[in-house]
Amino acid sequence: MYRAPHIALIVETSMESGREMLRGIARYAAENGPWSIYHQPSHLDQSLPEWLKNWDGDGMIVRVSDPSFVEFISGLDIPAVDVLGQVSNCDLPLVHVDNHVIASQAFTHLHDRGFREFAFVGRRGFTWSDERFDSFARACKEQNCVCHSFEVCRESPWEIEQDRLAVWLKNLNKPCGLMACNDAHGQRVLEACRRSNILVPEEIAVIGVDNDSVICALADPPLTSIDPGHFQVGYEAARLLDRLIRQPQETTNQKLLKNCTCFTRESTDITAVNHSELAKALAFIRHNACLGITSNHVAKELGVSLSSLKRLFANECRFTINECIIRAKIDRAKQLLRESDSSIEQITSKVGYSHAHYFAAAFRREIGMSPSEYRKKYQRQNDAGKSSTKSSVKEPVTW
């Protein structure tokens, strides 16, 4: 008779990355099990669980952050797979995201939008953050660009660290494309930009990592993020562990997964603007387009004549003032279609159109499909992403 293998999961649930790994493990177990799983919700820095010291099982999937933890696991003489890669010289087989590919994709995303000044915010001493910074800085150097860096001090009080970050951001050359080591730090950067009255994305465009839906949505503006494929990490780690249980003599080193995807949101959805007055105009349009503003309102906000404003857009921007207003409305509509259950009629009103027919026509001109088609396409891709590797809707740059 089949005996379900006893599997321990030492994977934290406090972050989206850990939860996505657990979903991947659960998918593999559902397809190839059943497995008898031992797991308790935890955070990444939690010490060795007491129950594990007397546990008699068949295999483990762990996020190892402490060398003593590695020594203990090695002494259990059962197969174990690491899905963190934090401890150097760890003899456990590793399944992990490829931090070089993540950083390269983040740089390409920003560089393609015209940014030539770059910065990185991370946590020194964490392998995943250090590797992302090294690869991001290398990509900058290959394009003859300088990468400035800021190390968040973990021991420093949050308010003090935010003030220090805000001063550093204020002194960066702008426009600047900034990569944060993960979404939590990306959200911190956006909050520090608010403190320093820095326009995002007009002056600093920010991209994070993990595609944590809650953090990205809480950020203002919503945070662009790289989804590294943690779901697939969990699935492949479970597949490897299953093989090691069945074939104990098999040897393996590490497997780095390269199938990451960029989800573009408002924090980078712009082309780099080198003219400060144009940046202010675009920021005003982005915040007020749905309120029914016209080019006259923009000119009044900047304190210039309408003819001067039109010359500014003609010389410094690929689009007219009215085209930028329409695009800002459509951007807001896309967000509502993706993230809310509002009807098309409700969205029509929220983005400043008087009739759904006019809104649908404008949306189709800009996006190439109707609002309902866009919503269905995004939902299909989102549902597919939950079951395997995630994919994003390819959208044009706003300005």
The mean pLDDT value of the chain amounts to 87
With pLDDT > 90 as the criterion, what percentage of the chain qualifies? 58
**Alpha-carbon span 230 to 243, nearest angstrom:** 20
CB of 231 within 8 A of CB of 382? no
Domain boundaries, the chain: 6-97+231-259, 99-229, 276-387
CB of 19 within 8 A of CB of 183? no
Structure tokens at 143: 């394009």
Helix 371-387 vs helix 356-367: angle between axes, to the nearest 10 degrees? Answer: 60
How much is the average pLDDT of 214-229? Answer: 92
How much is the average pLDDT of 384-398? Answer: 41
Residue 87 has pLDDT above 80, yes or no: no
**Alpha-carbon span 234 to 228, nearest angstrom:** 12
**Alpha-carbon span 261 to 258, nearest angstrom:** 9
Structure confidence by residue, pLDDT tens digits, 255-298: 899 888 898 898 998 877 778 888 889 889 988 999 999 999 99
**Alpha-carbon span 149 to 159, nearest angstrom:** 20
User: 99-229 and 276-387 share one CATH topology?
Assistant: no
Q: Beta strand pairing status for 36-39 and 6-10? A: parallel
Structure confidence by residue, pLDDT tens digits, 107-149: 999 998 889 999 999 998 888 999 999 999 999 999 999 999 9
Q: Give pTM, 2 decimals.
A: 0.78
Least confident stretch, 28-32, 45-49, 183-187: 45-49
Q: Given this model, what pLDDT does residue 225 score?
A: 96
Q: Given this model, what pLDDT does residue 259 score?
A: 85
CATH 3.20.20.80 fits 276-387, yes or no: no
CATH architecture of 6-97+231-259: 3-Layer(aba) Sandwich (3.40)
Question: Please, which pLDDT band fits residue 330 given cuts at 50, 70 and 90?
Answer: very high
Q: Beta strand pairing status for 261-263 and 224-227? A: antiparallel
With pLDDT > 70 as the criterion, what percentage of the chain qualifies? 92
**Alpha-carbon span 95 to 259, nearest angstrom:** 13
- Which of 180, 230, 181 is CA-nearest to residue 13? 230
The top-level CATH class assigned to 99-229 is alpha beta
CB of 29 within 8 A of CB of 238? yes
